[in-house]
Amino acid sequence: MTWTDPQRQAAFEAWLTDTAPAHQLDRASLRVASADASFRRYLRIDQNADLCWPTPAKSFIVMDAPPSHEDCKPFVTVAALLAAGGVHAPEVLAWHEAQGFMLLSDLGSRTYLSLLQSLDLASPTGFKLADTLYRDALGALVTLQGIQAEGQVPAYDRVLLRRELDLFPEWYVQRHCGVTLTETQSKQLEKIFELILKTCELQPMVLVHRDYHSRNLMLGTRPGAETALGAGRGPNPGVLDFQDAVWGPVTYDVVSLLRDAYIEWDEPQQIDWAARYWQQAKKAGVPVQDDFGLFWCDLEWMGLQRHLKVLGIFARLNHRDGKSGYLKDLPLVWRHAHHVAMRYSVLTPLARLLEQLAGVKAEDGYTF
């Protein structure tokens, strides 16, 4: 483990020394678990097997979130909301608020994405496992959306939605692609942004995770988890990276999962999973559209907002933060955005812009 700030390293070591006895931590086992797109990093630490015997030793996650860059309060708030609502989320076991150090329960190291990438999805067995994962994730999402969190998390309002959309022209178009929009293109994009915002604002509102996808869902460490998955009855997935949760459009997390930036599914499969979610959500009282066709249309427009935002975010991570690993995921996000832009005639200018930026030419293919 490396530290660039000796003072922070000293503060961390003092905190860990104070925290270790209560949880029987083996300080020598501390190692890097993962990092994310923010300034947070995650470490894994084990219990001392001798101290906790005869109980099996467990592992824990340590979050290192510098307060100058990260506010841990939303994480703690949402973690409590999810746990109370029946969602399998990390438990906050210790927290030094002033310094941004946190000890969490460990949901394991196997993400949905890592398991999916190990499967032969073209085989019946591989697809059955994937289908189980997605049905399980969508069931957990229905549970999450049933949590009454309005007023306890920020509103996903027009201001925030627009701020996210603006990442597309600033970071993807101008900075990443080196293109300056013409006056006509700027006006066309402004009209399209307004259409997207109006569509999103009209949707029913629920608790929104905001990054509900294969990299933030864990197979988990619950007893029998893998056995249950193999039998086609997966466990409620472990849910991570929820600190940016908001009260917003009901389709947001559904499209985040089905049109993920990291794995691609053909549209018939997306529709199948979306329909199963829609039926389950209606039964659970989640405020989805009564007509599935209207729900699917809302999902596509909400997804477009997210895809344009993500194009901007991935470009910004590269150019501002030096995290070039996200560039390999840009083509899939581009395809998601272009797919929707080609489907609706009012979005044709956006489709042409995306094609210009990618150096491709496509025929008109809208259906609405």
Q: How confident is the prediction for the chain on average, in pLDDT?
A: 92
Instruction: Name the percent of the chain in helix, strand, coil, to the closest 5.
Output: 55, 15, 35
Q: How far apart are the first and last CA of the chain?
A: 54
Percent of the chain with pLDDT over 70: 92
With 90 as the cut, is the pLDDT of residue 362 above it? no
Distance, in Å, from the CA atom of 261 to the CA atom of 333, rounded to the nearest integer, reads 6
Cα four-point dihedral sign 208, 210, 214, 220:
negative
User: Rounded mean pLDDT of 184-193?
Assistant: 98
Q: How far apart are CA 318 and CA 219, in angstroms?
A: 29
Model pTM score: 0.91
| DSSP calls for 244-265 | T-EEEETTHHHHHHHT-SS---
The average pLDDT across 233-242 equals 78
Q: What is the pLDDT of residue 28?
A: 93
Per-residue pLDDT of 23-51, as tens digits, reads 999 999 999 987 665 688 999 999 998 88
| 122 SS3 class | coil
DSSP letter string, 87-116? -----EEEEETTTTEEEEE---S-BHHHHH
Cα three-residue angle 89-95-96, rounded to 5 degrees: 155
287: amino acid identity, one letter: P
Q: At what angle do helices 183-201 and 158-165 cross, to 10 degrees?
A: 140
Give the residue among 273, 285, 283, 303 at the shortest CA–CA distance from 206: 285
The tens digit of pLDDT for each residue in 295-317 reads: 999 999 999 999 999 999 999 99
Say what the pLDDT of residue 50 is. 84
- Give me the amino acid identity at 81: L
SS3 state of residue 150 = strand
Is the pLDDT reported for residue 229 higher than 90? no
Instruction: Check residue 170 and give its pLDDT.
Output: 98
Mean pLDDT, residues 336-352: 97
Q: Which of 4-18, 218-232, 330-344 has the highest mean pLDDT?
A: 330-344
Give the residue extent of every domain in the chain. 6-105, 112-358
CATH of domain 112-358: 3.90.1200.10
* CATH homologous superfamily for the domain 6-105: Phosphorylase Kinase; domain 1 (3.30.200.20)
